[in-house]
Amino acid sequence: MRQIHTPHGDLALPAFLPDATRAVVRGVDAQDLEAAGVPGVVVNAFHLGLNPGSKAVAALGGIHAMMGWSRPVVSDSGGFQVFSLIRSGQVRGSITKKGVHYATPSGRQAEWLTPEKSIQTQLRLGADVLVCLDDCTHPDDPPEEQAASVERTIGWARRCKEEFERGLAMSRNTLPKVPNLREGGEDRLKAGLQTQNRPLLFGVIQGGNDPKLRRECAAALVEMSFDGYGFGGWPFDSQRRLLAEILALTAGLMPPDKPKYALGIGSPANLVACAKMGYNLFDCALPTRDARQGRLYVFRSSSATDVGYGRVYLQDERHRRAGGPVSEFCDCHACRNHSLAYLHHLFTIRDGLAARLATIHNLRFYTQLIERLR
């Protein structure tokens, strides 16, 4: 599959989307993202549902208007946040067949995150690609917990799709009337808008490191027919090694004519490895987080097919007099206009411009990496 059609334009595949978790890729704005060649971003429905609230975003005209961003937006459901916050014990809560019952950050009240609420939130945000709420696990979790996760994920996916279709039907039925259409023309217009401009819905395959459970989950989701499918769950073992075997198996269980989303996989090496398995959509906070820590990626050659890379650490004293750019093979704003010595200086004095320029560079590295893979 070469591209995804969305209400805010076609998304060429493969694609890497940086995390704009709370409606911002930290330290940069929409113009910086566009200049770096970023084709789309990922926001988080769980966090935006808490602050500022999906109704507040809708009142501003949706996530695109709020961010000043005209390209595609994917909204993550919040399933991973459930895993990272509740399963780790950072937030009090419980995971049930109904959904997730959790304490808000203030601790003064409890909330439900259900499949229906997750979809309602994502629709109000106005995202182009929505992701079903799933029950995320760690590969080391016991078999009975993995099985329960798959059962919940399948049930939640069915409810997500029902709520998604209900939400689309409500939107279609509330479209303004268009004058001067022949009899039946308005219904055809609505149906056309529904087909051509509707957002997409992705299902997420769980099952931990168990091939049987992965097959069971994938078969059930494929039967429901989603617009795309994602690998769900923590993709690393306890030694932080990529679970290549189960990732490859899961990719093979996804329909070949649908996008294959490797959620949360973002180191350059892992991205390249997963692309070879067939995955064609990626997101991760790693490149922007590394940029803020002064860790920059650089290619080793100018070859359009060479994905070999190294790292530059801005805090290294040896960069103090480096008059050239961070990378001679990069055309980003930072490399075209500033020296490595200047970025080293900004990082040393902890000026905010250091994070912005470093983030721009790493994002451009990723868009160039995708271009080389393509």
**Radius of gyration, CA atoms only, the chain:** 21
Cβ–Cβ < 8 Å for 254, 229: yes
- The catalytic position among 19, 128, 283, 290 is 283
Measure Cα distances from 282 to 143, 160, 199 in Å.
28, 22, 18
Q: What is residue 124's three-state secondary structure?
A: helix
Strands 73-76 and 3-6: unpaired
Q: Active site includes 283?
A: yes
> Six-digit token pair at 243?
């679970």
The string of DSSP letters for 20-44 reads: -TTSS-TT--HHHHHHTT---EEEE
- Kindly give, in sequence order, each residue whose CB lies less than 8 Å from that of residue 246, ignoring residues fewer than 6 positions away: 139, 207, 208, 209, 211, 214
Q: What is residue 299's three-state secondary structure?
A: strand
Cβ–Cβ < 8 Å for 5, 128: no
> Six-digit token pair at 313?
């650490």
- The catalytic position among 76, 128, 141, 210 is 76
Dmax (CA) of the chain: 75
Host H or E run for residue 135: none
Q: Give the separation between CA 355 and CA 109, rounded to whole angstroms.
A: 36
Query: What residue type is assigned to position 38 of the chain?
Result: V
> Six-digit token pair at 345?
């200086």
Catalytic (active-site) positions: 76, 283
